[in-house]
Amino acid sequence: MPALFQPLRLRSLELQHRGWVSPMCQYSCDPDDAPGVPNDWHLMHLGSFAAGGAALILTEAAAVNAEGRISPRDAGLYNSGQAEAWQRITSFVHRHGAAGAKIGVQLAHAGRKASTYWPFSGKRGSVPESDGGWTTVGPSPLAFEGYASPAAMGADQISGVVRDFADAAVRAVDAGFDTIEIHGAHGYLLHQFQSPLINTRTDAWGGDETGRNRLMLSVVDAVRAVIPESMPLLLRISASDWAEGGVDLAASVRLARQAAEHGVDLIDVSSGGAVAHQQIKAGPGYQTGFSAAIRKEAGVATGTVGLLTSAGQAEHAVATGQADGVLIARAALRDPHWWLRAAFELGHDLAWPPQYERAVPRRTF
């Protein structure tokens, strides 16, 4: 059996294989009538991957409070209406997944990168309050280039965000999600606190690495405390800020080791997003080395992402021990049945939805 299609167990969660869906923001919620509520677009988007053979689907970032949304059109999980809408989607994925698909929600807070225009709005930068935006927050009053300056968070606000993550996790369990991923990457709030390029605080939430990691680990603890012991917890991190003086791989290994000690079962290893002057050296599989190092040195399961488009690339990443799972995004948008095709290319039989069986490729003619 190809390594990519070997099963994986995380706590009590059984995944049929190692090919997964990376979170992808869709900017498709109705900001006026149903802010933060996933709708038919999200059902179609995520449901297509379930029918396409993905073993684990991670949703787009779901904000833990209203001010944590990346844009006014982003999804949330901070009220019961949103939870009910997500339950419709989890039920669909469980019912129609070709590979016994499981689904996890990514819980997030965008911090200083919140209240921005969505990519297809025709505008860029921060959304003013007159156009439905809001004042953003962060560890320090330093703006991301091209965005409005955030307000530095007080201790009570920080504690409130930790509670918001925990409350959203409870809603996620009730909505039928199989796992939860905490978003600590891409320059959003938890990563903002972690990065010395952004966090200039001198209190307990800043200063040295211990202080800068405190919010990330506090959120891990709060979420772990309210979800079932049997449910795995994932954490997405940016392994490198790709900028001098920022987070580097060594710091990320230390964070991953601590996160595992606090109850994280898999690190979803990405990179970048903290600052606009980052210098990313991108190429096919350019982040697998980060995943491999964290997996080996921190002793924790990892997922890898980034310009992985072919079945052969994904198979190589898992077979060589660089990651325990491969998460794809753009390749899945191009082909929502990527996993069914990958299985065929690797010589593995993956069950197709009965409605699509007439299209199963034949190996001999």
Residue 78, classed as helix, strand or coil, is coil
Q: Give residue 364's pLDDT.
A: 61
Burial class (CB in 10 A: 0-12, 13-18, 19+), 88: middle
| Residue segments in the chain with a per-residue pLDDT below the cut of 50 | 365
d(CA 93, CA 27): 20
Catalytic position from the list 78, 117, 147, 188: 188
Flag whether the pTM goes above 0.75: yes
- Name the CA dihedral angle for 222, 179, 14, 327, rounded to a multiple of 10 degrees: -120
Q: Is 27 marked active-site? A: no
Could you tell me which residues come within 8 angstroms of residue 151 by beta carbon, excluding any fewer than 6 positions away? 135, 136, 137, 138, 141
pLDDT reported for residue 105: 98
Planar angle of CA 129, 132, 138, nearest 5 degrees: 60
Q: In the chain, what is the straight-line distance between the N-terminal and C-terminal CA atoms, in Å?
A: 23
| Alpha carbon distances (Å) from 147 to 27, 77, 112 | 18, 25, 8
Predicted local distance difference test score (pLDDT) of residue 365: 47
Residue (of 181, 174, 253, 180) closest to 213 by Cα position: 253
